[in-house]
Structure 1
């Protein structure tokens, strides 16, 4: 399968598959965010997920995929540091702000910086039409944040620092999107990067949150471990999809399409939580979808 994926790089078929994978990643990322922001401490939720996908990745990294080339170890170290910063800022965001408000800000900040990063690192350049699409998409995403800010009743006293952390998290999203795309392109076998990325990436949060685990009531341990396993599977499919998309397609386009996750987050809240959609939310979702379509059609 590795050879087949590599053969798609730079082809129209590869670009189309990359866009499909980016949309799959968008849906799964919305689900992943909802899992971390659930009823548990977001720090421990992320730690449980990370510990689970490290354990799952270990046999694949050691016994299935080819061993990483020597030049990959510094790249993995850089990825570890960037993702550690992302996870820290994300947990700080979710700890302080309502998910419906901060999630759109995180996802709206990311694509703008990611497109710029893709231009600097990979020489990708958006057309004027694509930049217009990015503008439409970001308008819809930030519109969601403003709309939800006006209606949400929880965490309002900590909303200002939460929004600040959300912007920082969005910058980390752009950083890891660009850097991980560089990393997965630097090795001959993309699955080598995926296996070792998940093995190494999952080490930070379980260690960093060890004191929180000690204070956790025993009744919460099993539910958190179950959440960790479910979240790990979602993480593999979500982050794996976007990483493969950036290997075989254009990084900027994949980054923009992934941010339609805000639409999926609203739909999940509507279907699973009974949230009311209404004409304003429908309009904002239409803006986000229109922005993604513009980016695709004008590329």
Structure 2
């Protein structure tokens, strides 16, 4: 992975952890998702239009299928993530989701896109996966009978599967078909907004209440979420998806810090060990 792609992924990881922390603080439902989606759409459309005029593209049937499929999976992702934040702890849902996602995404990249990471790439991916498992505290999750913890694991896994699905779809669109990341993302946001509108608009008073109580979180998530993901889309055009997907999970490092310092989470020793494995994996991937 070259330096430009690595920097793009690292910046995206930082912003991703930040907006997820804000989403956890709000713990809203579909009205919250739709409102921050409107903010994201307002931010993304000008850049998408500019990219369209700078590099005119003809979007074929395959491109529109990818846009529609990605939008639908993103809707599922947003809903199950918010469910997880409502019913589980941030330090459980977030790492489990981010750990499950790249594992399935790498397999999808190999099977669907035909990518071959090679021995150094697989070694780096393996080190990051071990780090993810340690940070998530899987040994503790498997032993516990705590209802909230098990709920967090369940929603985290479902979120991770949806992450893997849209990552492979988006990699196919921007890498294989050559669709502009900015155009692709703006169109995907528009489709998502349309898909969620019937549910979100059924109760205008709930939308007003969400805006009144969570305005700062709606604005923060609405701005940071598209920025973080657009950086990753650009990284996909410069490096194999099977490298990009695991490296972006460095956002878990910040998630661990947020959990320890702001949410008083435990498991420091295993998470420090996991951090060491993840950093080793990133070094290996950067030199691969």
The answer to whether the superposition gives a TM-score over 0.5 is: yes
| Aligned counterpart, 2:14 | 27
Per the TM alignment, residue 56 of structure 1 is displaced from its structure 2 partner at its CA by 2.9
- Residues 206/222 of structure 1: CA separation in 2 closer, same or farther (3 Å cut): farther
Identify the range of structure 1 (286-295 vs 266-275) with the bigger mean alpha-carbon deviation.
Answer: 266-275
Q: Which of the residues 32, 38, 42 maps onto 1:51?
A: 38
1:21 and 1:241 in contact (8 A); partners too? yes
* Structure 1: distance between partners of 2:272 and 2:262: 17
**Secondary structure, counterpart of 2:117 in structure 1:** coil
* Number of residue pairs the alignment of both structures matches: 281
* Structure 2: distance between partners of 1:253 and 1:237: 20
Alignment of 1:242-261 (within 5 A): 242-261=232-251
| Aligned counterpart, 2:23 | 36
1:68 and 1:193 in contact (8 A); partners too? no
1:101 and 1:149 in contact (8 A); partners too? no
* Structure 2: distance between partners of 1:137 and 1:182: 23
* Structure 2: distance between partners of 1:165 and 1:131: 27
* Structure 2: distance between partners of 1:60 and 1:26: 21
Per the TM alignment, residue 176 of structure 1 is displaced from its structure 2 partner at its CA by 0.9
Alignment of 1:209-228 (within 5 A): 209-211=200-202, 214-215=205-206, 218=209, 220-228=210-218
| Aligned counterpart, 2:94 | 103
RMSD: 2.9
1:143 and 1:284 in contact (8 A); partners too? yes
Matched, 1:176 2:166: yes
Matched, 1:165 2:152: no
Q: Which of the residues 82, 103, 110 maps onto 1:119?
A: 110
* Structure 1: distance between partners of 2:140 and 2:193: 32
**Secondary structure, counterpart of 2:52 in structure 1:** coil
Alignment of 1:62-141 (within 5 A): 65-66=52-53, 69-71=58-60, 72-141=63-132
1:51 and 1:206 in contact (8 A); partners too? no
Per the TM alignment, residue 190 of structure 1 is displaced from its structure 2 partner at its CA by 3.6
Which runs of 5 or more structure 2 residues have no equivalent in the other structure?
none
Which runs of 5 or more structure 1 residues have no equivalent in the other structure?
1-11
* Structure 2: distance between partners of 1:229 and 1:222: 12
Per the TM alignment, residue 25 of structure 1 is displaced from its structure 2 partner at its CA by 1.1
